[in-house]
Amino acid sequence: MATAHPLIAVVDDEQSVRRALVRLLRAANWEAEAFASGEALIDSLAVRPPACVILDIHMPGLTGREVQRRIAMMGLDIPVIMMTAYDEPALREQCLAAGAIAYLCKPLRAETLLGAIENAVVGRARH
C-alpha cells in the first residue's frame, strides 16, 4: 500500500491561484487543501495542522506575515513558504528572518515550489 504524502495547505485570496496550486500539488502526489484566507487556515490548525503552508503575503484580512506570526505564536512548527506577486526585498528579509523556508515570486515555477516543499517536509523528517 502506497503511503500518502502529508497535507500541504495553500492560502491565497485568489481562487484561480488556489485551484492551480492544488492541482499541481495533487499531480505531484501531495495531499492539498486550499484556504481563501489566513483566518480560515488559522481556524483549521487545531483540527489538522498541515505539514507545510504555502502562504500568499498580500491578502485582505490577515496578511501572510500576520498568519506566519500567529502560527509561531501558537507554538506550531509548520514550515511556511511565502509567495507574492510583488517582490519587496525588505519584506523578503522579514519573512525569512521570521522562519519562512522560502520566499517565491509569482508566477511560481512548478519545479521551484515542489523543490521547496520537498525540502520543507522530507528534509525536516530526516533530521
Given a cut of 90, is residue 55 above it in pLDDT?
A: yes
Q: The domain at 7-126 falls in which architecture? A: 3-Layer(aba) Sandwich (3.40)
pLDDT band (50, 70, 90) for residue 2: very low
CA pair distance 100, 120, nearest whole angstrom: 10
In the chain, DSSP assigns E strands to 7-11, 31-35, 52-56, 80-84, 102-105
> Nearest CA to 81 among 105, 53, 108, 58?
53
Instruction: Tell me the CA end-to-end span of the chain in Å, nearest whole number.
Output: 25
Compute how many other C-beta atoms are within 10 angstroms of the C-beta atom of residue 79: 22
How confident is the model at residue 126, as a pLDDT?
A: 59
What is the per-residue pLDDT across 71-93, written as a single tens digit (0 to 9) for each? Answer: 999 999 999 999 999 999 999 99
Enter the pTM of the model: 0.93
